Amino acid sequence: MPGDVTVSATEAARFLAQATSGPTVSAIAHLSEVGYAAWLDQQFALPARSHRAFVNTLAASGTTLTPAHFRESWWTQAIAGDDQLRQRVAFALSEIFVVSFADATLATRPRGMAAYYDVLASNAFGNYRELLDGVATHPMMGVYLSTLRNQKEDAAAGRNADQNFAREAMQLFTIGLHELNTDGTLKGGVATDTYTTADIEGLAMVFTGWSWYAGPNAGDRTDRRFQGLDPHADRDWRPMQAYAKFHSTSEKTFLGTTIPAGSSSAEADMKVALDRLFNHPNVGPFFGRQLIQRLVTSNPSPAYVGRVASAFNNNGAGVRGDMKAVVRAVLLDPEARTWQPTAATFGKPREPVLRLAHFMRAFNAQSTSGRYIGIDAGEAASMLHQQPLNAPSVFNFFRPNYTPPNSDVAGAGLVAPEWQIANEVSLANYANYIRAWLTPLSTRDVQQDYAAEMALAHDPGALVDRLNLVLMSGQMTAAHRQLIIGAVHGRTLPAATDTNAAQVKAARRDRVCIAILLTMASPDYVVQK
């Protein structure tokens, strides 16, 4: 397993493309010096930085919070945060355990949404079982998937327990639709359902009786409305509270487990249910494959999935669900660390927000305010077709098994999830958005630093080689390199004199911008290998 081996600059850049929001020259040098294993240990040791604390500071200054303020925090950490691995894994988790500002109610609760993201980040290196508990009891998930104020069944009133969270907890968060082998292939070679309608109904009864946190004296008020606490400071982020009066005491049967009638509390029932889901043999391969897809490659081999699932099942010390072990297995697997230029099945499209984050990090973007204002302004939703915590549905921006119709990918029997939000318009918009950021505007809060690149503008080959390392991990083809060098040569550098310094500087910057745009708009960049 990699870890104590010498890491070249290109190998380091490729690893960082998978494990962070994007390589930087300094990060590449550091990883090359310490190696994979030490770098992972360093990242695991860094504390989580709180998004809720960021928005709380703004609120305390009198700011009326909006979703844009959470995104300021997200970009601040994605670009300038030292806990890069944690934030990259948290972003992956946010696309599995989805809540979204696209929900009109959640759009009014940026503090709660920031706190939900903190739950993902704080559990990114913890245990998957604790992650399930944090997700299941968070009020933002309660709002999004209807567990908040979900009441027990009432035959006289014609009411059944809401099934929304119960269904998605199985389908999307833990076991998936079909029984799997450890390597993620279909058990027995056929698609056997993991659960039935009866399982959904039984599990839905478990998730009844939960609502806003209201403190130890809440009792079982019939209205279960929030009283006595600041609704934004407390109830939007504290775990939901169980109200026995509204929890089903009927027998609950799901996935071969039965909770007897009248035998336990809402809290105890939830523990039984989440334990059952956590210990299902599907979880390792189902979750492991998705984490591989989010970080490394869209089409991992069964052997790769199997190795990650085995790390989920047992971290080597008998512990199931150890997220550090899973992350290590994903990033240090031989398939992840071996670049095969001719392997057409390997790689993944880079998500739009990660392309933009990579751009900002690669060129040392600095914020005058310290808040990275304006990176993800309103036009980003239409130009990038993606914003953090803004998926159109619980199924994320794209599904893990999406295949572009009538494509070579489809013909090869492969998947490319990120292409579900890609088309001719979105890819053109992305290129235009990057071009707009390349155009200097002194009024921007965020400014890139191209000093190192401008120093190489007189030598197009050296300039392109630098971009090849930091943007493409040394994977630029010879033909692509020559195309960019030719384009850079097309912008003439005037001879420097005592009176034309501004013109020379502008020409150097133009050369740099041409090279960056032709790198980042290329198919070879957009597909991470």
What tokens appear for 368 in the block? 């005058």
Average confidence (pLDDT) over 436-452: 92
User: For residue 441, what pLDDT is reported?
Assistant: 87
Alpha-carbon gap, residue 317 to 96, rounded angstroms? 27
Write the pLDDT tens digit of every residue in 45-71. Answer: 999 999 999 999 999 999 999 999 999
SS3 (DSSP) at 449: coil
**Four-point Cα dihedral 76, 525, 304, 313, nearest 10:** 10
Residue 475 lies in a domain: yes
CB 335 within 8 A of CB 416: no
**Four-point Cα dihedral 164, 168, 169, 171, nearest 10:** 150
Residue 507 lies in a domain: yes
Write the pLDDT tens digit of every residue in 156-180. Answer: 999 999 999 999 999 999 999 999 9
H helices, E strands: number in the chain: 25, 8
User: For residue 4, what pLDDT is reported?
Assistant: 56
How large a percentage of the chain has pLDDT more than 90? 86
230 vs 468, residue with greater confidence: 468
Backbone φ and ψ of 180, nearest 5°: -120, 150
Alpha-carbon gap, residue 94 to 88, rounded angstroms? 10
Residue 101 lies in a domain: no
Enumerate residues 6+ apart whose C-beta is below 8 A from 276. 254, 255, 257
Alpha-carbon gap, residue 248 to 205, rounded angstroms? 6
User: For residue 230, what pLDDT is reported?
Assistant: 54
Place of tokens 């031989």: 334
Residue 341 lies in a domain: no
| ∠ CA 229-233-236, rounded to 5° | 95
User: For residue 45, what pLDDT is reported?
Assistant: 98
Range of the domain at 213: 138-173+195-279
- Of 248, 279, 310, the last residue of a domain is 279
Alpha-carbon gap, residue 323 to 36, rounded angstroms? 17
Looking from the CA of 10 toward its CB, the CA atoms found within 13 Å total: 10
Alpha-carbon gap, residue 68 to 58, rounded angstroms? 12
Average confidence (pLDDT) over 241-265: 94
> Is residue 248 over pLDDT 80?
yes
SS3 (DSSP) at 181: coil
Alpha-carbon gap, residue 46 to 499, rounded angstroms? 50
Place of tokens 């670009």: 79
Residue 371 sits in the same domain as residue 488: yes
How large a percentage of the chain has pLDDT more than 70? 95
Reference 121, options 60, 213, 44; nearest CA is: 44
- Of 279, 295, 327, the last residue of a domain is 279
Residue 512 sits in the same domain as residue 378: yes
Average confidence (pLDDT) over 235-241: 92
Residue 382 sits in the same domain as residue 496: yes
Mean pLDDT score across all residues of the chain = 93
User: For residue 34, what pLDDT is reported?
Assistant: 97
Q: What is the 3-state secondary structure (H, E, C) of 356-401?
A: HHHHHHHCCCEECCCCCCCCCCHHHHHHHCCCCCCCCCCCCCCCCC
User: For residue 226, what pLDDT is reported?
Assistant: 46
Reference 41, options 310, 338, 316, 328; nearest CA is: 328
User: For residue 217, what pLDDT is reported?
Assistant: 66
> Is residue 377 over pLDDT 80?
no
- Of 227, 254, 279, the last residue of a domain is 279
Write the pLDDT tens digit of every residue in 101-129. Answer: 999 999 999 999 999 999 999 999 999 99
User: For residue 378, what pLDDT is reported?
Assistant: 55
Q: What's the number of domains the chain is made of? A: 2
CB 183 within 8 A of CB 285: yes
Write the pLDDT tens digit of every residue in 490-509. Answer: 999 998 887 899 999 999 99
Burial code (b: 16+ CB inside 10 Å, e: under 16) for 250-267 equals eebebbebebeeeebebe
Q: State if pTM tops 0.85.
A: yes
SS3 (DSSP) at 180: strand
Enumerate residues 6+ apart whose C-beta is below 8 A from 86. 43, 46, 48, 121, 124, 125
Write the pLDDT tens digit of every residue in 303-360. Answer: 999 999 999 999 999 999 999 999 999 999 999 999 887 778 899 999 999 999 999 9
Residue 369 sits in the same domain as residue 275: no
Question: What is the chain's length?
Answer: 529
Alpha-carbon gap, residue 31 to 27, rounded angstroms? 6
> Is residue 130 over pLDDT 80?
yes
Residue 253 sits in the same domain as residue 369: no
Reference 346, options 285, 412, 282; nearest CA is: 412
Residue 330 lies in a domain: no
The DSSP 8-state label assigned to residue 237 in this structure reads T
Place of tokens 């809402």: 266
Instruction: Please report, for residues 39, 256, 321, the alpha-carbon distance to residue 127 in angstroms, rounded to integers and kept in the order given.
Output: 20, 24, 5
Residue 120 lies in a domain: no
Residue 393 lies in a domain: yes
The DSSP 8-state label assigned to residue 421 in this structure reads G
Reference 123, options 147, 92, 100; nearest CA is: 92
Write the pLDDT tens digit of every residue in 266-298. Answer: 999 999 999 999 999 999 999 999 999 999 999
Helices 478-489 and 501-520: crossing angle, nearest 10°? 150
DSSP H helices in 249-398 = 266-278, 283-295, 302-313, 323-332, 334-337, 352-362, 378-384
Backbone φ and ψ of 209, nearest 5°: 90, 10
Residue 268 sits in the same domain as residue 370: no
Write the pLDDT tens digit of every residue in 194-228. Answer: 999 999 999 999 999 999 988 776 666 544 444 44
Backbone φ and ψ of 81, nearest 5°: -70, 145
Looking from the CA of 146 toward its CB, the CA atoms found within 13 Å total: 14
User: For residue 220, what pLDDT is reported?
Assistant: 63
Place of tokens 């380091």: 12
Residue 1 lies in a domain: no
Place of tokens 């751009």: 359
Residue 366 sits in the same domain as residue 483: yes
User: For residue 223, what pLDDT is reported?
Assistant: 46
CA 384, distance to chain mean position in Å, is 15
Write the pLDDT tens digit of every residue in 7-20. Answer: 999 999 999 999 99
What tokens appear for 23 in the block? 């390589």
Residue 398 sits in the same domain as residue 266: no
| ∠ CA 468-332-350, rounded to 5° | 45
